[in-house]
């Protein structure tokens, strides 16, 4: 009897996960983008100081603008995937807004999932996919994840 009661209690246990609102997601994006560009700018300054010849390719060649944008998209995707992997679904933006990227069941995302979320961000216009109610951008849909509001989410 006692074993059945324990199993019954465990089956009634469920997580209550609240999706982060679009405003928090936008704040996450803006904060993370600013941090990314500050890091890239700092890296550029260090390269200019210590290895100025490595920046010789930055001339006014046609097509450089497109290559620059593609490289920046890929670097941002890599940056976000590394940050979410290292900090278990968090970035500086998510830390400030009290949110976290998790799997749909509320479990922590794996390194692979964080990497796939990062790659999804490299798709042009991915940012626009976040508009809607509920806020469910491509990086969430394609990887079966969501960004939860940690303060409003709780275990029942």
The predicted-structure confidence for 26-52, as pLDDT tens digits, reads as follows 999 999 999 999 999 999 899 888 887
Using a 10 angstrom Cβ sphere, with 0-12 exposed, 13-18 middle and 19 or more buried, the burial of residue 54 is exposed
Q: What residue spans of 14-142 are helical by DSSP H?
A: 22-50, 64-86, 92-97, 111-121, 138-141
- Where along the chain do its domains lie? 19-47+64-155
**Given the DSSP bridges, would you call strands 15-16 and 154-155 parallel, antiparallel or unpaired?**
antiparallel
pTM for the whole structure: 0.80
CA–CA dist 92, 120 (Å, integer): 19
The predicted-structure confidence for 125-148, as pLDDT tens digits, reads as follows 888 888 888 889 999 999 999 999
> Residue 17 is encoded by which pair of tokens?
């996960």
Residue 80 has a pLDDT of 94
């Amino acid at each position: 009897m006692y074993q059945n009661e324990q199993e019954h209690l465990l089956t009634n246990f469920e997580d209550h996960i609240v999706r982060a609102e679009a405003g928090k997601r936008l704040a996450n994006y803006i904060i993370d983008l600013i941090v990314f560009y500050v890091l890239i700018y700092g890296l550029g300054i260090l390269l200019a100081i210590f290895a100025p010849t490595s920046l010789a390719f930055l001339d006014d060649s046609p097509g450089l603008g497109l290559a620059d944008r593609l490289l920046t998209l890929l670097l941002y995707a890599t940056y976000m995937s590394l940050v979410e992997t290292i900090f278990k679904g968090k970035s500086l933006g998510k830390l400030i807004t009290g949110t976290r990227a998790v799997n749909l069941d509320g479990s922590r995302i794996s390194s692979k999932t964080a990497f796939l979320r990062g790659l999804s961000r490299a798709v042009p216009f991915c940012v626009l996919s976040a508009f809607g109610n509920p806020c469910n951008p491509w990086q969430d849909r394609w990887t079966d994840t969501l960004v939860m509001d940690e303060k409003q989410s709780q275990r029942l």
